[in-house]
Every structure is written in structure tokens, then in C-alpha cells.
Chains A and B, each alone.
Chain A
């Protein structure tokens, strides 16, 4: 399918009047997938999702159906589904739009996924900042209880499910699935050492699945139209790479930064950053050129201008040295912007959001920020560049020094910025220039 023929799936109801109301969702065919799924065996639902090749949309791209099969087969007592609505990766806002505009699409996916995983209580962890989403979801959940779509004996199937909303408190680390679980349990959001993985021992020490909001929104469509339909979109798996799981289905791309029309676009997986910017975001603003582009939230690093033809599928960004597709949040940086300032902003973010549990992350994010502050203050040394690289190479799960991936995400922008834009850092330091950021005392 070419991108020109593509009709939005997840955003099909965007902009319709009262798209968030149950009656309108039903009038557009909503909850037919749920009725269909409830007439199947739960294992059949898992099989369809597994066959479709759906991979988690939250950042790691783990195959959703496969994740569900990791739950123990014979388990007595509760299994929990946690919905990760803690979307906090800079540049990312697709969950916000999905929830505000079409909450029932997400909730239908949650009920189907809960049924598939034999969950009877699901927790929707929503970042505090999304107050409007909270109110929209609360009303939508009330509508569902009133219409036998939640509660006891859903649609006469004998299946029971409760969904509870749980609000976060402004901490990026709650997006890490075991950090989310700890936060849900009422503790500081310190990610857990794995194994055990959540499927074996998660929320309240019970088997648990954690899935992203956009992933949930895909589920009703897969049940309605089948695995083959889902696989007709996107980028097939590489036959020469047995570890490639392919990049199937539609994807929401967030575009922000220096473009004429920032916004949310849905396309089959695999569009290039260049096409996204030029064809779907009105091009780079003020007639300028792009200097660097973040492929999927700042933790994924940077692509340079000459790498912009890279397809934004699960495998593409990694081929040009980025950490991955992440959340597919594309942030465009124009050629009038200093990469020193951009990297400082990224480092400052991670220093603020490191949970402090692992020394390499806590110290690495803080020191890289301090070094960049020194450079921006005109007191940098050329050796600072290699020092930054050394720090970035010593923290994260990829060198194996931390419990979770936050440190990898903090290190990647440093690695990419220096490898791809080193002369700019050298020139900045040699010139002794200073960035007069309108920054503020004690502001980090």
C-alpha cells in the first residue's frame, strides 16, 4: 500500500463532533471487535495479535502477542493489565490526542486485551499533566459501566472486568514498566531488577502485562480486520535477519520543532523523516534547512541532515546509529540552532528525571549536564568532548551498568551529537562563546 492511498485507522474519527461519546463510537462500528473477541477463546485472541506482528508502540517495540504468552499458563489468583499512559518522552503527544479524541477506541482495546490475558482488574496509569484526558476517560469509563461494557458479565459473555484510572505525579521514570508498577503500588518509582519480569511477578507481586496506549488502540482493528490486513501495512521483516520482527501496521508520528506545521500524522510504518517533514509538516520553517532530527523522542539520539532518508520503522534509526524508533516523535532542529544548546537541553532533562537509584545514571546525567553548562559558559576545554563521550559510554543497560534503560536514553543524544557534530562542539569551545540562555538561578 502506498502512503498516498493510506486512510487513517487510529485517527479515522479525529475531528468528528463528539468523537469521545460512546453512542458516536458505536455508530461508527465501535465495540463490534469486543463482541467478536468475547465469542472467541482468549488464546485465539492472543494468536491473532501474535500473528499480526503488532509491536509495542511505547518505545521498546516488543511484540505484543508474544508478551502476553509469557504469562504463566496455570495460575490461580489475579493477573493484572497496566496501561502505560505516562507518555513523557520529549516530543511525544500521540497518546494525548488518542485519549482526548477517541477514548473508546483505546478502552475497547483494553477490554479485549484484558480478556485475552485473563485479567479482571486493569489499571490505567495516566500522567498527571493530562487532566483533560483524565476527565474524558473517567466519563467514558462511566458510560461503559452503564452499558454493560465493563463490570460483571460484559455483553452477556460471563467475563468480568474493572478498569481503574490511576494518576501519576510528574515523573518520567514512571513510563518504565517496573517503575510504573512501583508507582502504582504507592512507592517511589524505582525500576525493579529483572528477572523476574512483570509477566511472572509484576503489580502486587502478581503476573502483570504492561501495554502502551497506542498499542491498545491497534487491538480492536486487528480483531475486526485480521492479522493479514495489519501486515499489509508497513515494512516486512528482513528475511536475512532472523532477529527482525518486522514493522507492521499504521503508526502515529508526532512532528514538532522547527517545521511549518507541527502535528500528529498517521502513516504506514516506514516513511522517511524527509518525507514526513516535507510532505506532512509543511517543510522546515523560515525557509531554512534541517541540521538534525530526533527520530523518536530525545532518548533516541539524532539523525544528521544526510541521514533523513532513513525509514522510520523499528529497524531504520538503528542503522544510522540512533538508539531506535522510540516513540516515533520526530523533532526537527534547524541549521540556525546550536547543537551545544540542544544537547544541553537533552542532558538537563535526563539529569532531572534520573530516579537516582543507579550510580552511573545519577552521576552520569548530572556530570554531563555540568560539563555542558561549563562549555556554554565559555569555560569549556577541548578535552571535555572526549570526557562527555567517555561518560556516555559508561552508563546504561548496553554497557550493563544500570537497572533500566533511562541511562541509555540519556547517553544516546550525547554519543550521536558528538559523533555526528563534533566540529561544531570544537568550534564552539575554541571560540570561547557563551550561550546567553535566559536561564534562571536554581533552574534544574
Chain B
């Protein structure tokens, strides 16, 4: 189970890094979203992987750590808001600048021209 889990997290992270390194805003947003999935899975595993147990101490001998679940929940909520904002921003950039290139070497207001 641990191997499968870590391979999943690893593949998700690798794909997201590939996407983030693309120069266009949409793949980057996809990459960031995918990275947040990978991170959430990773956070979940930090309490160690336990099957079919309650996150309550005292009822039974084995239990699963409740804290990582709370972390993941917080991270999901925050990540959701951030993704929404990035998508809107990417759409605005596409609409106002007419390109979805994240870095436009031909941009007139680039730092080199200031």
C-alpha cells in the first residue's frame, strides 16, 4: 500500500512540475492544481497509512491520526480559493494582453524598457 501511495504522489508531482514549467498560463494552472492534489495526498500520509480505523484514541488499540486529515481539509479549502483566483487572473491576462504566454519577451512594459 505504501509503495502504491508514494508512486501515485510521485507521478502526480512529476506531472505537475512538467506542466508548471510550460510557458503558458493554462498548463501552469493545471500543474498547480495537480501539485495541490499531490500535496494533499502527501499530507494525508504523514499520519501513517492505516486502514479501517477511527481517528479516536481509547476506543480500540489501533487508531488513525486525525491531525493530517484536518491539515488536508484546510489545504483543500485554501487551494480551492487560490485556484479560482488564478483561473480568473489567467482569463483576464488572456483577455487584456491577448496572449497566454506567462513571459512575453516582446512586452513593451518589460523591466528592460523601464
A binds B: no
